[in-house]
Amino acid sequence: MLQTTEKPRPKTILLIDDDRGVRTAISQALQKQDYELIEAASPEAAAMIWSKQQSEINLILLDVMLPGLSGPELANEIREQNPNAPIIYITGIGKEKLSKFNVPTGARLLHKPFAVSELREMIASALSEVVA
């Protein structure tokens, strides 16, 4: 009897950032990892993607400062549908100004610029905590 070893399905990450350069850099940083990346440049685009594909999305990388809704406001909407959605916030805002955006206490947060290794470690940590 032949045994087939199926390769596990890649983890899907929804990246939400209005800066194309940031999206491109993160995409390149994760290219050699076993992740499928879906990009959104706005909260509206992210909401549409989430509504259609939330069952396929394993993790959300979310910029704190977005046009329209802030990252934490969008996260609240996402968590209304899935309270356990793993989210990593990314920001270029200094810690002193960050408090006005209501990032939840204890949230996973990466400050730009961050090292690729730091991004990969935080993603791996967040995904390892997800209950299957």
3-state SS, one letter per residue, for 7-55: CCCCEEEEEECCCHHHHHHHHHHHCCCCEEEEEECCHHHHHHHHHHHHH
Q: What is the mean pLDDT of residues 58-87?
A: 94
Distance CA 66, CA 47 (A): 13
**Both structure tokens of 119:** 């991004």
Q: List pLDDT tens digits, range 8-46.
A: 778 999 999 999 999 999 999 998 888 999 999 999 999
Q: Which residue ranges form the domains of the chain, and what is each CATH number?
A: 11-128 (3.40.50.2300)
pLDDT for the residue 19 = 95
- Cα four-point dihedral sign 41, 12, 47, 76: negative
Residues 54, 82 contacting (CB under 8 angstroms): yes
Rounded-to-10 torsion of CA 19, 21, 26, 30? 140
